[in-house]
Structure 1
Amino acid sequence: MIKIPQSTKGLIFDLDGTVANTMQNHFTSWRHAILPHGIDFNQELFLSLTGMPRHATIAKLNEMFGTSMNLQEVGDAKATHYKSLAHTTQEIEVVTDVIKRYHTILPMSIGTGSTKAGAKYTLETIGYSQFFDIVITADDIEKPKPHPETFLKCADLMGIKPKDCIVFEDGELGMIAAREVGMAVIDVNDYFKQEFVI
């Protein structure tokens, strides 16, 4: 069970790979979209980019591999493939137990690199929409993780100082973002081991 320090005043949750077990589906869909362009989109590469919005991920891959993938076309291919798998998403219980335990006790929000529509669908699929009035997505910010804007917006809307928040994250970029503004981090990987199947 994940323990929350008594001094904590607000909880912020990443969504994909933290609250919802979507990462295998994202990995499969990225491989489907990227492999035709000659990049071996493997687990290590995927994990290094986790938390970035779709178009930012493709732009970063273009920069890394010298490719000129079309952001819209490749992004749409990834999104379409993901939609065909999204209904299979399940909750990550070690984290959703915390959500249920602290609902109405501490303010809670979602801070995700997903789109607004994607986040809404994921939360509905796992049955957790009713727990979150505040959901900050890639559509609500200018600068994605590892910039802390996502989490700062969450804290601001909850009315909590950053130093009094705990962020639940599975992605390195999100952990960097949270720590940069003095937020405590709970690394979900310490409680839930993700194994990817190619």
Structure 2
Amino acid sequence: MNAAVMKKRVDLPEKKYEGYIFDLDGTLVDSMPLHYRAWRKALSRAGAPESVFGEEEFYSCGGKSANDVVHFLNGRYGLVMDAAATAADKRRIYLEMLEEEGMQPIREVVEFVHSLGDAPKAIATGSAIPGASRTLSAAGLSDLFDVILTPEDVEHGKPAPDMFLKAAELLGAAPGRCVVFEDAVPGIKAAAAAGMDCVQVRRASLE
């Protein structure tokens, strides 16, 4: 019994909403270990010390765009990594790993998505669209959502509420009648700023 409770990733809502908005990485798919390994390799190639970007720091940046992550690390550690080049390298590495290893959906969340039927559903992810599209395809989730938004679609990414507010608009739902599914603090803050309910998906180990 205790073991089953420990493995539970999410407490699903019973309330009905006008719109359902999902983060992607760590929320719909178990992609965070793959993203972390891609970051470690890209940062090493960009000259960052091994001590930069530990597990907790990685999770604290969940939902941010890759460019924003590099800018954050440069500012925090006094580094001079090229943000665009390092972010692009990380995305390439991730896609190569995804091609080789595939992707597993997070069962409880994806079963809930299927249970929603035709209810309006969106993805609001910190990943760029090529990575997001291929992640969804690898996990067999490509046809489940009405809208897919990335940081390129808004002025400010998470923890700003922009992506969630735009998702609600495109779904034709009032923000206060939407729910967000998120695993990381920036996304949870963005949901609160958008005036939306939020369901947290508990993270798994990066190992």
Relative to the length of structure 1, the TM-score reads: 0.93
Please state how far the C-alpha of 1:6 moved relative to its aligned partner: 3.1
Cα drift, residue 39 of structure 1: 4.9
Residue 119 of structure 1 is matched in structure 2 by 132
What RMSD, in angstroms, separates the aligned Cα atoms of the two structures?
1.4
Deviation string 1:18-69 (CA, Å, 9 cap, x unpaired) is 0111100000111111233115221011011111001111001101111110
Over residues 175-197 of structure 1, what are the superposed CA-to-partner deviations in whole Å (9 max), with x where a residue is unaligned?
000011210000001xxx41012
Is the contact between residue 13 and residue 19 of structure 1 (CA under 8 Å) also seen in structure 2? yes
* 1:29 to 1:152, Cα distance in 2 relative to 1, 3 A: same
* Structure 2 equivalent of residue 63 of structure 1: 75
Q: Which residue of the partner structure matches residue 95 of structure 1?
A: 109
| Unmatched segments (≥5 aa) in structure 1 | none
How high is the TM-score relative to the length of structure 2? Answer: 0.89
- Unmatched runs of 5 consecutive residues or more in structure 2: 1-9
SS at structure 1 position matched to 2:143: helix
Q: In percent, how many aligned pairs have the same letter?
A: 33
Measured in 1, the distance between the counterparts of 2:11 and 2:181 equals 10
* Alignment match of 1:132 (pick from 138, 145, 165): 145
- Find the counterpart in structure 1 of residue 21 from structure 2: 12
Residues 1:195 and 2:193 are matched in the alignment: no
Is the 1:10–1:160 Cα contact (8 Å) retained in structure 2?
A: yes
Residue by residue over 1:127-147, the C-alpha shift from the partner in whole angstroms, topping out at 9 and shown as x without a partner, is 111111210112211101000
Question: Which residue number corresponds to residue 4 of structure 2?
Answer: none
Moved more, 95-104 or 2-11: 2-11
SS at match of 1:129: coil
Give the match for residue 37 of structure 1: 48
Equivalent pairs, count: 193
Q: Is the 8 A contact 1:163 1:184 kept in 2?
A: yes
SS in 2 for 1:110: strand
**2:94 is aligned with 1:82:** yes
Runs of 4+ deviating beyond 3 Å? none
TM superposition shift of 1:85: 1.2
